[in-house]
Amino acid sequence: MRIKSDRCRRDGKHIALHVLGGMAMAVVFGVLFGYFVMLLWNNLMPDLFGFKLITYWQGLGLVIMARLLFGSHGFCKSGHRSGRFNHHKEGHSCCCKDNDESTKEDWWQNEGKFAFQEYLKSTKVE
């Protein structure tokens, strides 16, 4: 049992290092994005639109606001979760995952052709 508990401790430390590393990278990218937004804003917006210069913190706030307003938050347009750890159920498709031609062909054979024919029948002018 000693060998198994040592392995668990080692694996736990490995996971903790990955989590801390991921958090550190998020902070670094946040700092960089805020800085670049500030630089771009201060070099473009006053000349183009007459806006005032902004500080670093205002640039970081714009990054956060843009993410909140326009970010996908891990969801596809259809409302299904996307991402690395998402496992779709059988037959459950997502716009972000299933864009290959065979899936489109299967849909057309199973549902699309019938729906199109029904549409043509309903719009037929006599």
Question: What are the tens digits of pLDDT across the range 89-123?
Answer: 445 455 555 556 678 888 888 888 888 888 888 87
Compute the distance between CA of residue 80 and CA of residue 88 in angstroms, rounded to an integer: 9
Compute the distance between CA of residue 16 and CA of residue 10 in angstroms, rounded to an integer: 10
Domain coordinates of the chain in residue numbers? 1-71, 76-126
State yes or no: pLDDT of 15 exceeds 80: yes
Q: Where are the alpha helices (DSSP H) in the chain?
A: 2-49, 56-70, 101-107, 113-123
Q: Note if the pTM is more than 0.95.
A: no
Considering the chain, what is the average pLDDT of its residues?
78
Better-scored residue on pLDDT, 94 or 39: 39
CB half-sphere exposure, 83, CA atoms < 13 A: 9
